[in-house]
Structure formats: structure tokens, C-alpha cells
């Protein structure tokens, strides 16, 4: 991993808050499985002006937003918003009915921690991860989620995480064996989208972490990502596809924008914007400012926006750079499609709080004590 990376460690080939593969139920069902976050070789750093990947994580009745444990000063204005902007997604986010958090609450109703973990974590919408590059089942696994969400009139958040050379051979290594296999996997992913509104987080760390690749490998990856965006959006006109912007303590905004442009993120045919802070802890205010800077530098249609992972950033990043289930963290802003912030389309829980980075339990497994500490 690279310095200042996110926190996502894959176990085998199944990574993410909610993985869409369950041997017990068959290929058409999706449920949470082991999730993680890429483990940096060195701790995240705090940028001078702006220089720090990998990932980690959807209710019939969404709970009312809770006040975030963040300091004041969230930016509310931005540059570069002239011209028509495609309406941001609306409605309510989808909560997948199976998750490790929900399973724990159901199995431990007498545990004094269960009410808080249930109301503040298990009942909140979170992303569904697809990290297994099985081409034969990907369409049915995606369809199992999107069809259920559409039936409820909710917006699902799906994470595509199978790019070749994933995590640069680090703890979350894996993905498709080559670009041709990945392109075919994306075709299957797109076939499962249906026609409803859906948000796709396209390959966490695939762009911010691309410096581990040779120039030829990087060009091949970026071309494949641009193609993925086009295929996904062509398959479902209501799909919104977001590209990897790292986070506010990683690459400077202009540098990240240049990489994103090469990967097709400035094209309306491929992209609806960017995502940041997946599995990390940086404050929402910092991510808002950074994402707007990236969007300004990126150019492209005025309609491009950003989504931010707020699952564990309520107290910001640890001052000592700790990344593995660090103490003193808290839940961030409640997942919502109504941020009240220009060019910020959503606050999402891409990594499900309580699923361990590997220190409070096995990587990707649910830790009740960790979840309770975050929720308090």
C-alpha cells in the first residue's frame, strides 16, 4: 500500500460491507460478508497544502438524521457551478436486509449494546460490495439487490471492486485476472442494474493508487474504467457512476483531477462525478472542500458531483495516523441524498461501521464492541 491510503483489507476474494455472494443461498442472493480496507505500509499523513486506498461498505424506514460529531465550518459554496446541472439523486437510500450488524442485533437482543448498535448502525443504509469477479453470477447477484431496491422505491449503492491488479498486490489484492475478463465482468454487472435509480462506486483506489502501475498498465486500466462507466450508464439511464478521488489527505486536487480525466471521469458518457474518503476518517468539511477543488480542476459537464463516505469520520482522522480500528473515532453524517451542499450528491456509508479493519477482530468481521464505541 501507499502512504496515506484508505483502510480496506480483503479476505480472499470477498471484500466489502455487503458482498454479493452467499454460498448458502445461491448466486441470486446478495448478503453482507467479510469486508476490509486496504492496509497502508505507512500510516496516513496530514497534507501540507493537500497531499494520502482501498475500501471497505443499505431501510424500509430510514431513520432521521442525527447530528454529526464534527466541528463547524462545513463549506456551503463552490466555484465552477455555472450552467445546467443534472439533478442529484433523490429519494431514500436502500438498506440491504442482511448485514453482519443486523445479524448480530437479531442474535443478541438481550445485549445492552444492541439498541444503540441497532438504531445507529444496523438500521442505516450502507453500500453493497461486489468483489468476486465471477462472471457467471455477477448479473444475477447485482439484480438481486437492484430489483429488491426498486420494489421498495429505494436507491441502492453498489461498489464494483474487481479491477485487475487491485490494491497493487497489497492486502486487498485480487480482482479479475486481466482487462478482458474485467470488461466482461462489468458487462455482467451492467446487465443486472435494471432500469431504476442506482449509484455505483466504481473501483475504490483504482485511480488514486495507480502510481504503482507502469505507464502502459495505467493507460490500460484507465481505458477500462472509462469503458466501465460508459457500459454501466448505457445499460441503465438512471444509473449514476462515481470515480475514485482518493481523499483529502492523499493526492493534491489538481493531480487527482488529471488522473481522473485520463480515466474518463470528465465525460458525461462515463461519469456522474467522484467519490472520496472510502473507508477513511477525514472530516466531511475537508472532503467537501477537496472534492469541489477536484471537480473544478477536472472540468467536464457542470452536472458532475461528488459523494463522500461518512461512515466513521465524525471525529476526523486520528492525529497519530492510526488506521486499523483506531480508538476515539465516531459515526459521521447519516447516509442521505439530501446534503444541502452544492455539488455534493450524497453522504454514504460505503464501509459499514463496526466491521473491523483487523485489530478489533478478523478483518471484515463485525465487532460489537467496535460498533458500540463508534455509535456512542
**Which residues are catalytically annotated?**
167, 205, 357
DSSP string, 305-337: EEEEE-TT-TT-S-TT---SS-TT----SPPBS
Whose grid coordinates read 445485549?
A: 111
Phi, psi angle pair for 319, to nearest 5°: -65, -25
Helices (H), the chain: 100-107, 114-117, 138-152, 179-191, 215-235, 253-262, 284-298, 368-375
Which residue(s) pair with 355 in the sheet?
Answer: 366
Q: Look at residues 182, 140, 136, 142 and name the one whose alpha carbon lies nearest to residue 163.
A: 182
Q: Which helix (H) or strand (E) holds 273?
A: strand 273-276
* Cα(157)–Cα(96) distance, integer angstroms: 10
**Residue environment code for 48-81, b if the CB has 16+ CB neighbours within 10 A, otherwise e:** eebbbbbbbbbbeebeeeeebebeeebbeebebe
Amino acid at each position: 500500500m501507499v502512504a496515506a491510503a484508505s483502510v480496506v483489507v480483503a479476505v480472499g476474494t470477498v471484500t466489502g460491507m455487503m458482498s454479493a455472494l452467499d454460498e448458502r443461498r445461491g448466486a441470486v442472493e446478495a448478503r453482507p460478508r467479510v469486508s476490509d480496507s486496504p492496509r497502508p505500509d505507512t500510516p496516513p499523513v496530514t497534507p501540507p497544502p493537500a497531499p494520502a486506498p482501498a475500501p471497505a461498505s443499505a431501510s424500509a424506514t430510514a431513520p432521521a438524521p442525527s447530528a454529526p460529531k464534527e466541528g463547524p465550518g462545513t463549506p456551503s459554496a463552490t466555484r465552477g457551478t455555472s450552467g445546467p446541472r443534472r439533478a442529484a439523486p433523490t429519494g431514500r437510500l436502500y438498506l440491504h436486509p442482511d448485514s453482519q450488524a443486523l445479524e448480530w442485533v437479531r442474535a443478541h437482543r438481550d445485549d445492552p449494546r444492541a439498541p444503540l448498535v441497532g438504531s445507529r448502525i444496523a438500521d442505516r443504509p450502507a453500500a453493497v460490495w461486489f468483489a468476486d469477479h465471477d462472471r457467471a453470477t455477477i448479473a444475477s447477484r447485482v439484480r438481486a439487490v437492484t430489483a429488491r431496491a426498486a420494489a421498495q422505491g429505494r436507491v441502492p449503492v453498489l461498489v464494483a471492486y474487481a479491477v485487475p491488479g487491485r490494491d497493487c498486490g497489497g492486502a486487498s489484492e485480487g480482482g479479475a485476472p486481466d482487462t478482458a475478463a474485467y470488461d466482461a465482468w462489468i458487462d455482467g454487472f451492467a446487465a443486472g442494474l435494471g432500469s431504476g435509480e442506482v449509484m455505483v462506486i466504481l473501483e475504490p483506489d483504482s485511480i488514486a493508487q495507480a502510481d504503482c502501475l507502469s505507464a502502459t498498465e495505467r493507460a490500460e486500466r484507465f481505458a477500462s474504467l472509462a469503458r466501465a462507466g460508459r457500459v454501466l450508464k448505457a445499460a441503465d439511464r438512471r444509473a449514476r457512476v462515481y470515480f475514485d478521488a482518493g481523499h483529502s489527505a492523499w493526492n493534491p486536487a489538481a493531480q487527482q483531477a488529471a488522473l481522473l480525466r485520463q480515466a474518463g471521469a470528465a465525460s458525461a458518457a462515463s461519469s456522474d462525478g467522484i467519490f472520496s474518503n472510502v473507508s477513511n476518517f477525514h472530516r466531511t468539511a475537508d472532503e467537501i472542500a477537496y472534492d469541489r477543488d477536484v471537480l473544478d480542476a477536472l472540468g467536464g459537464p457542470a452536472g458532475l458531483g461528488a459523494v463522500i463516505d461518512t461512515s466513521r469520520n465524525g471525529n476526523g482522522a486520528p492525529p497519530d495516523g492510526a488506521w486499523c480500528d483506531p480508538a476515539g473515532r465516531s459515526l459521521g453524517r447519516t447516509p442521505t441524498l439530501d446534503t444541502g451542499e452544492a455539488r455534493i450528491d450524497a453522504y454514504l456509508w460505503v464501509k459499514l461501521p463496526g466491521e473491523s479493519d483487523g485489530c478489533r477482530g478478523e478483518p471484515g468481521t463485525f465487532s460489537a464492541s467496535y460498533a458500540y464505541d463508534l455509535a456512542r
